[in-house]
Structure 1
Amino acid sequence: MLKGKKILIVDNSRTIRLQIKMMLENEGAILVEVGTEWGMTTKIEEYGVIADLIIMDLILNAEDGLDLIKKLKENVRFKHIPIIIITEKVDVDSILFAKDLGVRSYLKKPFKKSDLVIRIQDALEKTATENFSD
């Protein structure tokens, strides 16, 4: 199901990025990882990386993940890309705000591979259905 899907992992923790990569490598996904908004912007500009899905943390060092999500959803190039949040932050207001911005799902750290894969598949299926009906 994930074979050939380009997934962008945005998390300030290299350990978490590597953990997600190890979880998804055997699923056939193409994985690109960055630690900051600047890193993500650089990857997109330099390599034309436009993902099928973004997995990101809400806490990105000096940057706020919610602000980044808002920027992505306001940009015509990126607004269609489903986003899954992975976070230690379980602030109900932040989660509701993220949902209002169009975030597909969220997982509390730590999480299991099976939970992540299910959420990714669900987000990709919903996006495909929405794009088909447009």
Structure 2
Amino acid sequence: MSNKDILVIDDSNTNLVLLESLFKSNGYRVSSSTNGREGLESVSKNIPDLIYLDLKMPEVDGFDFIKELRKNKDYKDIPVVILSAISDRETIIRSIELGVVEYLTKPLDIEKIIQLTKNILSR
């Protein structure tokens, strides 16, 4: 069993259930939030080892979530992976400029997500 915590933030319940199941079946502890505001609250209670983040969400979107996360010295080094249906170049560049470690587009590639997760958490 892994002792690594993953936070998934996505307003799609389908994606949350899929990713929670995927990560739990691979031995990770998982928590989830449906928007950036809830995600920030979750991070303040339990600092995750990795965050998977959607960009388009109600209340606090993915970009605002990352900006708020990076303001706190305790959270600024948490790796963030974007999972988004948005695939335009400007959005990807903006995400990288904000320090995300990877940008994945939907639909989700399960094998790629698991391999990426293992690679990031083994650093």
Gaps of 5+ in 2: none
Question: Could you tell me which residue of structure 2 aligns to residue 43 of structure 1?
Answer: 42
Q: Is 2:118 the partner of 1:121?
A: yes
Question: Could you tell me which residue of structure 2 aligns to residue 31 of structure 1?
Answer: 30
- RMSD across aligned positions (CA): 1.6
CA distance in 1, matches of 2:70, 2:41: 18
SS at match of 2:103: strand
Question: Measured at CA, do residues 85 and 29 of structure 1 come closer, stay the same or move farther in structure 2, by a change above 3 Å?
Answer: same
Q: What letter corresponds to residue 53 of structure 2 in structure 1?
A: M
Structure with the greater alpha carbon radius of gyration:
1
Q: Deviations over 1:51-80 (max 9, x none)?
A: 000001011124321121122122211111
CA distance in 1, matches of 2:43, 2:97: 25
Please report the TM-score for the alignment, with normalisation by the length of structure 1: 0.84
Q: Is 2:115 the partner of 1:108?
A: no
Q: Is the contact made by 2:5 and 2:28 (CA closer than 8 Å) also made in structure 1?
A: yes
Q: Deviations over 1:28-49 (max 9, x none)?
A: 100000001221233344xx21
Q: Is 2:105 the partner of 1:94?
A: no
Q: What letter corresponds to residue 28 of structure 1 in structure 2?
A: G
SS at match of 1:84: strand
Please report the TM-score for the alignment, with normalisation by the length of structure 2: 0.91
CA distance in 2, matches of 1:22, 1:110: 16
